Amino acid sequence: MDKIKTNEIPENPGIYIFKDKYNDPLYVGKAKNLRKRVPSYFRENSTWKIKRLTSEATQISFVTSKNEADALLAEYSFIQQYKPKYNVRLKDDKSYPYVTLTNDDWPRAYVSRKINSNNINFGPFPFIGAARRSLDHLINIFPVRTCTKNVFERHQKLNKPCLLYDIKKCAGPCIDAVPRNEYKEMLNNIENFYSGKSDVYVNDKVSDMKKYSSNQEYEKANEAKKLIEHLENARSTQTLMVSNSKSVDVIGIDVSNLDVVISCLLIRNGRIIGEVKKTFEPIDTKKHDEYLPQIILSIFSENQPSEEILV
């Protein structure tokens, strides 16, 4: 398309949309001042990606906003809805594994790559095996149900628990073998663990083990020791990052001539509880900072952010 006339461009914050001859969106971007930003796409020294975009585009439309923050949200929503071909493509935008607690009458714990906003989700984990091992160790301590809805309802009707109850890896809510308040406490302990608050429970069990040992209650002391071992094994999927109980998200950026890699460490109460890594190819890597808000929004649309984010 020919270079657009500057006086036809609003001076407001907002988004600009390059469209092809079929009126389909090719690219959307945001700007604090549309009139200052859009002409930069028509410079002689533009990258080959930008030149290809402007040669394919036949028109540009604008949507103004009250401020830059509103423009950012409008840009993100537009990209999510229309997925323009020249916008950021997250190469490894795979579904990361999470540990999930459902909102059922008797909540279930399981590992999944799908996030349901009605459930409580912890992660993401770098590998699905790490998530499964972590949960398996926790179930030895806090035996909440892990079975599907169909299996749970079948055993409820039979009033007979499954094998997991016999091997003490389920408290048996299907037969009302556990009081609701105890079951809720187990769920709370799992939540605390994945929120990085496991130290209190470990310290309590260490105190119990010492007390039982000094009272020569060696069987109880051994049980406390086993619980500690399971919890430490579960914690091996997390990394102690800082000496205090700080919660922060740390975003690192690596820029090359071809792409940009963003890695986000999710640190809760001093422990790394998850990591998200995304690679994308902006149409101009020299201006990668323009795409960061959009990528960060993408990361935290799936993960609850902490109160502090470091970039």
Using alpha carbons only, how large is the chain's radius of gyration in Å?
26
What own/partner pairs with CB < 8 Å and gap ≥ 24 does 69-73 have?
Answer: 70/13, 71/13, 71/14, 71/15, 71/30, 71/31, 71/32, 72/30, 72/293, 72/294, 72/297, 73/297
CA distances to 41, 131, 171, 307 from 134, in Å: 49, 5, 18, 26
At 79 the pLDDT is 84
Whose CA is closest to 262, among 285, 290, 296, 300?
A: 296
Residue-wise over 209-219: b if at least 16 C-beta within 10 A, else e? beebeeeeeee
* Total length of the chain: 311
- Rounded CA gap, 230 and 102, in Å? 23
At 111 the pLDDT is 93
At 238 the pLDDT is 52
Region for residue 196 given its phi and psi (left: phi exceeds 0; alpha: psi -120 to 50; beta: otherwise): left
- Rounded CA gap, 161 and 222, in Å? 27
**Residue written as token pair 């700007």:** 31
Per-residue pLDDT of the chain (311 residues; tens, 9 = 90+): 666 788 889 999 999 999 999 999 999 999 999 999 999 998 888 888 889 999 999 999 999 988 887 888 788 788 878 889 888 665 544 567 889 999 999 999 999 888 788 899 887 776 778 788 889 888 988 999 999 999 999 999 999 999 999 999 999 999 999 999 999 999 998 988 887 776 777 777 778 788 878 888 878 788 778 777 877 776 665 544 444 556 777 888 877 766 777 778 777 766 666 677 777 766 666 666 776 777 777 777 666 667 677 76
At 143 the pLDDT is 94
- Rounded CA gap, 27 and 19, in Å? 7
Helix axes 180-194, 128-141, angle to 10 degrees: 140
Q: Specify whether the CB–CB gap between 274 and 237 falls below 8 A.
A: no
At 97 the pLDDT is 82
The structure tokens listed for 5 are 């006339």
Whose CA is closest to 172, among 159, 189, 188?
A: 159
* 282 upstream amide cis, omega within 30 of 0: no
